[in-house]
A and B are shown apart, each in its own frame.
Chain A
């Protein structure tokens, strides 16, 4: 196996252009598992961890750009105010060792339906910045996933960064697993409220072939909040509205029975998580 370690982004793009079949590795928390299990034996690995720029984040106005090489540990430490939903999700990832190694770009690259970063990125309508030697393009995250562990990247493309709006309102994330730490999501739910845009965002993990949004739930909640002028008044939410939002969120999912849980349980749990995350987020909005 050939192991290439470019030290600049341009070099990495050139390598990928020349060797589109090469496997990309960042933290290695997914790739190394596959190698160890002999599921994949790529002829070439391209290691992106030596590209310093990739592991940085910046704010430009109201847009936060997170380099693909930023780890979960750094998201927790550095971005819990700017991207609180993503930070909460990052806290639920694996063990400290995994959070020190795993990156947001790697999570997208693996494109697992259970990837913990995906629901908050969906909820905040993030954009995946993609590049190749041919040029760059921006992909809305909801268009990024094309199937279980599949995405839109062309063979010569790399994930450069993710952009999200700097949080303008409360964000939440909750994940169900069958133990109290170090567990892959049985299902998960993310919520983002944007009082400036009067927008509601959602993201669902581990309950469909790809991470998805609960679009109808977003639409109904945003519509009711606007109709009642709730962004202004911040009154307690009507229980029926919360229940309706929860039901629509669960209905958006297309879960299956598997070794981690049943479809019926996943749907049930999603409704509970949607109801709770909305109540937490709204309470926070009312307080602030």
Chain B
């Protein structure tokens, strides 16, 4: 890793003499358990007397529910209850931004898989069989599945009031600005699934006070709690949530899935109830990434300086709101890319359709826009005869740049540096043609019949490539070098960190410092959800560094402490990290007050303010020393702090002007691919990526996030798509919804910059999402370079490479 630390960070004040503080590769408390299969995930929950739930789902994407007959299911031995919307005692709908989604269908289903009834039974098999006995009579209603058609006048309405979810307009500069070189294009992004490995699961246990305890894999305990409580008709304090082991999230656990169902069943039966979705059900049980259609026009002068960007995008929100308004907002505010553009006109509309609800997924609106604007930058570079990196760096945003929203970027924006770093990153080795060997062991070598390379294609490689030694087609023996052309592509992107547009975004942390027998121990408690990203490690690292204590326990996240906000938007290290730091500082204040008494100093003595916490001791500059364990022995210090990042503002409804975002996270990618141009198969040979993380709180975890995010972007580029036909999912399984396997994931050269953001705790930037943005357009640019195809749609399918996709060639 490369690091470029800036002065002014706060480490001089941090505790020394401890291992595993911030900036170290502190190992995960759950790492060994997960690697050895011992970790308890939410699907492993078990308790005495537990019964099982199952869900009755609509097979139709749009239908009136004429009748629901539960008698046969209720009559089945082993079935405890069958619940419909009539059994929802409180609010019958839920939703992240607006409660528009029925807990159980009321009189209409609006997407395939919408829950209609839930069943509890002795075991999962009986529950499923009981669910199959629920007779639902449907009357089919007109479908609207095309988001553009959904917004046209006269389209069937998915909800009363029309199909427009939100229309965000960004207007800056001269709307009729003209440019010497103009390129435009239509782009399309397919519906990606988060494809977490642990499907939706949890367990609800009825409590003696009439409330319920819910153990659940989620991203935001308190927003789940509030929705569950509203539908149960209970006060929030009677609904207590505890985070169960989360098997990945990526946005798919932001919305409620089985939370309310579990609690309804538990309170009705008086028994603990567990549910685990199957993989197939999971595809219907959570929101997906919005499919999008994007039309862009870029204008530049002959030197390649951008004059204008015009964009018109339509996002398919599916049947319910979820977080579509915020996704649309991101696509608009980030839609011109990390570039300085004087004249901008962006329109982004979200549409209701009878497709599956779409909502949060890693990158959250920025992914779709990045694919289109980066494709446009390549097209513009080609029109200008410029290297794609030169065009980008010429227009790169810098600190002090003003976004199309008018917001000034007030910390590092190293767009050009990131691009230049990936440009000069080491190239992968190219094996000699004689090394080519098929699975039979017979070296066949290239036949030289490769289609002519175009653009940046590096020519036929005729050999196994990269460290994985694979050619396109991988293990399936489709080529011994024939048709293989190498291509190189570049892209850069940026993502907002934290919740935006005036949202009151905060976290809460409680830090407890205790001493016993001279031993100093701390615990940190928040409701922030660890979903695999590594926050549990970071929380402990912060406490170690701030308080100079070795032994730190991270308490299980639950609702017994205030909200931490969502594990979303790359925000937890920033916001909950900020809260933990603030709680530690409050603890330190108390320690100083106690030390003052011990040392006979005034509480405001400057010697105290400068004191350091080192190895369990408080060291004053004048030489006074206090053992911290003695200060807290028998009298622990506990502080709970709510912490907010800087406020943001709503966008002006007509112009989109406003300080909408807290912080930005930048990443760039270079992709090198081998394409079998005759079969349309792609093997990514190498990725080089560079990202500014402000401060690498845990460098190993940072690199892990970059690997994972990049891989999810490769998946979107080349294979991951929920295929829809007439509102129905065609591939709800890992047999046909393909995610990258190890041979699809190349070696990655990762460079991490640490350009401190002076407004953020420790100078850090959120890490998780940025790597997902630019890996997709970089891979597609490389495939374009190898094939000469326009490739305006992702994922790129083999037939698109062979025959072309939606763009006329």
Does residue A88 face the partner (Cβ distance < 8 Å to B)? Answer: yes
**Cβ-closest chain A residue relative to B801:** A265
Does residue A182 face the partner (Cβ distance < 8 Å to B)? Answer: yes
**Cβ-closest chain A residue relative to B280:** A37
Does residue B802 face the partner (Cβ distance < 8 Å to A)? Answer: yes
Given contacts A179-B474, A272-B679, contact A280 B744 (CB under 8 A): no
With beta carbons under 8 angstroms apart, the residue of A176, A183, A264, A265 that contacts B738 is A183
A176 contacts B798, C-beta separation under 8 Å? yes
* Distance in Å: Cβ of B486 to nearest Cβ of chain A: 16
A269 contacts B476, C-beta separation under 8 Å? no
* Distance in Å: Cβ of B326 to nearest Cβ of chain A: 31
Q: Which A residues are in CB contact (< 8 Å) with B435? A: none
Q: Looking at B439, B681, B718, which has the most chain A CB atoms within 10 Å of its CB?
A: B439
Total CB contacts across the A-B interface at under 8 A:
116
Interface stretch (choices A55-63, A122-130, A138-146, A255-263): A255-263
Q: Looking at A183, A260, A261, which has the most chain B CB atoms within 10 Å of its CB?
A: A183
A173 contacts B477, C-beta separation under 8 Å? yes
Q: Looking at B438, B476, B678, B719, which has the most chain A CB atoms within 10 Å of its CB?
A: B476
CA–CA, A268 to B683, complex, Å? 20
* Distance in Å: Cβ of A81 to nearest Cβ of chain B: 10
* Distance in Å: Cβ of B6 to nearest Cβ of chain A: 41
Does residue B479 face the partner (Cβ distance < 8 Å to A)? Answer: yes
> For the complex, would chain A's binding face be called helix, strand, loop or mixed by DSSP majority?
mixed
Q: Looking at B128, B473, B742, which has the most chain A CB atoms within 10 Å of its CB?
A: B473
A88 contacts B440, C-beta separation under 8 Å? yes
Q: Looking at B442, B480, B483, B683, which has the most chain A CB atoms within 10 Å of its CB?
A: B442
Does residue B730 face the partner (Cβ distance < 8 Å to A)? Answer: yes
Does residue A249 face the partner (Cβ distance < 8 Å to B)? Answer: no
Does residue B444 face the partner (Cβ distance < 8 Å to A)? Answer: yes
* Residues of A213-250 whose CB lies within 8 A of B: none
**Cβ-closest chain B residue relative to A188:** B476
* Residues of A173-213 whose CB lies within 8 A of B: 173-184, 186
CA–CA, A37 to B281, complex, Å? 11
With beta carbons under 8 angstroms apart, the residue of A38, A175, A272, A284 that contacts B476 is A175
Given contacts A175-B478, A176-B798, A261-B798, contact A182 B128 (CB under 8 A): no
Does residue A172 face the partner (Cβ distance < 8 Å to B)? Answer: yes
Q: Give the number of chain A interface residues (Cβ < 8 Å).
A: 38
B280 contacts A91, C-beta separation under 8 Å? no
* Residues of B424-443 whose CB lies within 8 A of A: 438-440, 442
Q: Which B residues are in CB contact (< 8 Å) with A264? A: 799, 803
A259 contacts B736, C-beta separation under 8 Å? yes
* Distance in Å: Cβ of B112 to nearest Cβ of chain A: 15
Does residue B723 face the partner (Cβ distance < 8 Å to A)? Answer: yes
Q: Give the number of chain B interface residues (Cβ < 8 Å).
A: 44
Q: Which A residues are in CB contact (< 8 Å) with B477? A: 88, 91-92, 172-175
> For the complex, would chain B's binding face be called helix, strand, loop or mixed by DSSP majority?
loop
Q: Which B residues are in CB contact (< 8 Å) with A181? A: 474-476, 741-744
A88 contacts B798, C-beta separation under 8 Å? no
* Distance in Å: Cβ of B191 to nearest Cβ of chain A: 13
Q: Which B residues are in CB contact (< 8 Å) with A182? A: 741
Does residue A110 face the partner (Cβ distance < 8 Å to B)? Answer: no
CA–CA, A265 to B679, complex, Å? 9
Does residue B224 face the partner (Cβ distance < 8 Å to A)? Answer: no
B478 contacts A273, C-beta separation under 8 Å? yes
A174 contacts B476, C-beta separation under 8 Å? yes
Does residue B406 face the partner (Cβ distance < 8 Å to A)? Answer: no
A179 contacts B470, C-beta separation under 8 Å? no
* Residues of B778-804 whose CB lies within 8 A of A: 797-799, 802-803
CA–CA, A268 to B798, complex, Å? 11
With beta carbons under 8 angstroms apart, the residue of B475, B476, B478, B730 that contacts A259 is B730
CA–CA, A146 to B456, complex, Å? 49
Does residue A19 face the partner (Cβ distance < 8 Å to B)? Answer: no
B738 contacts A276, C-beta separation under 8 Å? no
**Cβ-closest chain A residue relative to B745:** A180
CA–CA, A88 to B480, complex, Å? 14
Q: Which B residues are in CB contact (< 8 Å) with A272? A: 483, 678-679
Does residue B482 face the partner (Cβ distance < 8 Å to A)? Answer: yes
Q: Which A residues are in CB contact (< 8 Å) with B797? A: 178, 261
* Residues of B719-771 whose CB lies within 8 A of A: 719, 723, 730-731, 735-736, 738, 740-744
Q: Which A residues are in CB contact (< 8 Å) with B478? A: 174-176, 273, 276
Does residue B680 face the partner (Cβ distance < 8 Å to A)? Answer: yes
Does residue B447 face the partner (Cβ distance < 8 Å to A)? Answer: yes
CA–CA, A279 to B735, complex, Å? 32
CA–CA, A184 to B735, complex, Å? 7
Given contacts A84-B440, A283-B444, contact A180 B803 (CB under 8 A): no
* Residues of A36-69 whose CB lies within 8 A of B: 36-38
* Distance in Å: Cβ of A92 to nearest Cβ of chain B: 5
Task: Give chain B's interface residues, CB within 8 Å of chain A.
Answer: 128, 278, 280, 438-440, 442, 444, 447, 470, 472-480, 482-483, 678-681, 683, 718-719, 723, 730-731, 735-736, 738, 740-744, 797-799, 802-803
Question: Could you list 13 examples of A-B contacts with CB < 8 Å?
Answer: A37-B278, A38-B128, A91-B439, A175-B478, A176-B798, A179-B718, A181-B744, A182-B741, A184-B735, A259-B731, A272-B678, A279-B444, A284-B442
Please provide the 3 A-B residue pairs with the shortest distance between their CB atoms, ordered closest to farther. Answer: A180-B474, A265-B799, A180-B743
Known pairs A92-B476, A179-B740, A181-B741 / 20 extra A-B pairs, C-beta < 8 Å: A92-B475, A176-B476, A176-B798, A177-B476, A178-B681, A178-B738, A178-B797, A178-B798, A179-B741, A180-B472, A180-B743, A181-B474, A181-B744, A264-B803, A268-B802, A268-B803, A269-B802, A276-B479, A280-B440, A280-B444
